[in-house]
Amino acid sequence: MALYSVLFYVLATVLLASTLLAITRRQVVHAVVYLIISFIATGLLFYLLGAPFLAALEVIIYAGAIMVLFLFIVMTFSVESGETAKGEIYQWLPAIGLGVISFFVGGVLIFEVPGSKMSLNTGMATPTVFGQFLFKSYWFPVEIASFLLLIGLVGALYLGRQESKKEGKRPEDKS
């Protein structure tokens, strides 16, 4: 159906534009807000590609949790846009040059693969089917993922704790 194609291209335009705006902002807060738009568009694209459960997770985890975490951290820092215009061009030019070369090589590779011009059929995996499949075939990776999240929690707590005893021994290096 032509409607789905139009929706795909509209979502792709929104995604590319918001991501391009996000990675070029100097203020991190602006980048985070543009990135929220990008992640919501990704969630809609997941819904279009037949993954409604992942679309909900994308909005909840990425646009909700991760970006709010970024916003909190940015707002606890003082406003210091430490990046000066001088010297930045020497980092942007090689990165963009290599990116453009990789883009053309990857585009040629993608479109030379047989079957890449085949149209996608629309489909839908309901959350019930997805959950039953997940816990039937991938129950052990789910356990590993839960351990990973627990370790992340413990690690973040360990790194974020207040240093009270070792305050005097800390090397004062403000170079």
Partner 1 sequence: MMVPYGNLLLLAFTLFLMGAVCAVARRNLLMILIGVEIMLNAAGMAFVGASLKWQLLDGQAFVLFIFAVAASEVAIGLALIVYSRRRTGSVDADHYNLMKG
Rounded-to-integer distance, Cα 146 and Cα 108, Å: 39
Rounded to the nearest whole angstrom, what is the least distance from the CB of residue 165 to partner 1 in the complex? 15
And the tokens for 110?
């993608």
Toward partner 1, which CB reaches closer, 1 or 168? 1
Rounded-to-integer distance, Cα 40 and Cα 61, Å: 11
Which residue, 27, 22, 26, 51, is CA-closest to 39? 22
R_g of the chain computed on alpha carbons: 22
Residue 102: its H or E element = helix 89-112
Rounded to the nearest whole angstrom, what is the least distance from the CB of residue 17 to partner 1 in the complex? 11
Toward partner 1, which CB reaches closer, 113 or 165? 113
Toward partner 1, which CB reaches closer, 121 or 168? 121
Residue type, 1: M
Rounded to the nearest whole angstrom, what is the least distance from the CB of residue 100 to partner 1 in the complex? 9
Toward partner 1, which CB reaches closer, 165 or 174? 174
Residue type, 7: L
Rounded to the nearest whole angstrom, what is the least distance from the CB of residue 27 to partner 1 in the complex? 10
Rounded to the nearest whole angstrom, what is the least distance from the CB of residue 151 to partner 1 in the complex? 7
